[in-house]
Amino acid sequence: METLSKFTLPGILFALTLVFGFGLSYVGKPYNGLLFNVHKLIALGAVVLAVVRLASIPRPGDSFALIAGLLVIAALCVVALFASGALMSARKLDDAVMLTIHRVAPGVLAICCALALYLLVRKP
């Protein structure tokens, strides 16, 4: 429970990132500068805070390889989100491939983080 509560704030920031992401998508191109920067900065804050909190919890005894694998996939999703987000904002034209990546990656990220957290907090 204590471990889980460490991820409440990163979770709230992730949800806010989604809200601002959908807002940004709703307004469309050219992107609203304020919405874009708030979306990007909250996403950055969520990632940094989640990594800091993750580093503060003890290394799990069992399921370590599975948790590490899930976290590697989660990290790849974060990289994909930042790269696709930056490319979408840099290009004037609609970019269907980047948008698809940007829509799929949050789901994969959420599933991997939820599974990793479950494995971290479950009692042996």
- Please provide the distance, in angstroms rounded to a whole number, between the alpha carbons at the two ends of the chain: 14
At 53, list the tokens. Answer: 């909190």
Enter the tokens of residue 106. 């949050």
Torsion of Cα atoms, 80 then 24 then 107 then 45, to 10°: 70
Q: Write the binding mask 50 to 89 for ligand HEM: x where contact by CB under 6 A, - elsewhere.
A: ----------------------------x--xx--xx-xx
One residue of 21, 49, 116, 117 binding ligand HEM per CB under 6 A: 21
Q: Binding marks (x or -) toward ligand HEM, 96..115, rule CB under 6 A? A: ---x--xx--x---------
Does 24 help bind ligand HEM (rule: CB under 6 A)?
Answer: yes
Q: What are the DSSP calls for 73-103, one per residue? A: HHHHHHHHHHHHHHHHHH-SS--HHHHHHHH
Q: Judged by CB under 6 A, does residue 11 bind ligand HEM?
A: no
Residues that bind ligand HEM (CB under 6 A): 17-18, 21-22, 24-25, 31, 36, 39-40, 43, 46, 78, 81-82, 85-86, 88-89, 99, 102-103, 106
